[in-house]
Amino acid sequence: MELSIWISLFTICLLGAMSPGPSLAIVAKHSLAGGRKHGLATAWAHALGIGIYALITVLGLAILLEQLPLLFKAISLAGAAYLVWLGYNALRSKGGLVDRLESGEAVTITQSAKEGFLISLLSPKIALFFTALFSQFVAAGDAPSGKVLIVATPLLVDGLWYTFITFMLSSPTLIDKLKSKAKLIDQVSGAVLILLALRVVWTI
């Protein structure tokens, strides 16, 4: 896989992880309610679920690419439309990233990990995002090493991003900075998602 293609993959994975939603809410909840260990357990269990989802999606899309190229193109276009929708909502956001940083009831570390794992596997948003994400990279990563990279990238990006969130939530100063820049973060993310969607359409 070419470096430029991997950078696009990395960027979409990072924006997907940063996008406000149930995943961020659950990691924030366990980080604030149970402390750093609970947050890290939630973060990496969630990343494991992402990795499993990535593997299943890559294998499924690879079959479509080989046997049903027109259907694969249709999925790619639908994925591009979804990226535009995500980008549009992010541009309209008033700082939704911060709205998700809410605390909750403390539970065991095992329960924290379980919730993180299940939220990644059962979220319709993640299912749609992976279809949109991987449709443009499966052809570029047809070699075994490419498939490993496609699966490993979202897993590691997701785990490291939520590890950052976990450590950030133990620092009031960082939370204040995030609040002041939340709207800008959403708007930049929205613009990048729309540009990436255009790239999908251009390369089909």
pLDDT tens digit sequence for 144-189: 777 788 889 999 999 999 999 898 876 667 666 766 776 776 777 7
d(CA 28, CA 21): 11
Of 108, 172, 130, nearest in space to 23 by CA:
130
Number of domains in the chain: 1
Which residues constitute the domain of residue 167? 3-203
Given its phi and psi angles, is residue 126 left (phi above 0), alpha (psi -120 to 50 degrees) or beta?
Answer: alpha
How far is Cα 47 from Cα 110, in angstroms, rounded to an integer?
15
101, amino acid identity: L
pTM of the entire predicted model: 0.67
Alpha carbon separation from 179 to 97, 172, 173 (Å, rounded): 8, 11, 10
Looking at per-residue pLDDT, the higher value among 87 and 37 belongs to 37
What pLDDT sits at residue 172? 66
**Which tens digits make up the pLDDT trace of 24-57?**
777 877 777 677 888 899 999 999 989 988 888 7
Contact by Cβ (8 Å): 165, 43: yes
- Write down the mean pLDDT value for the chain: 76
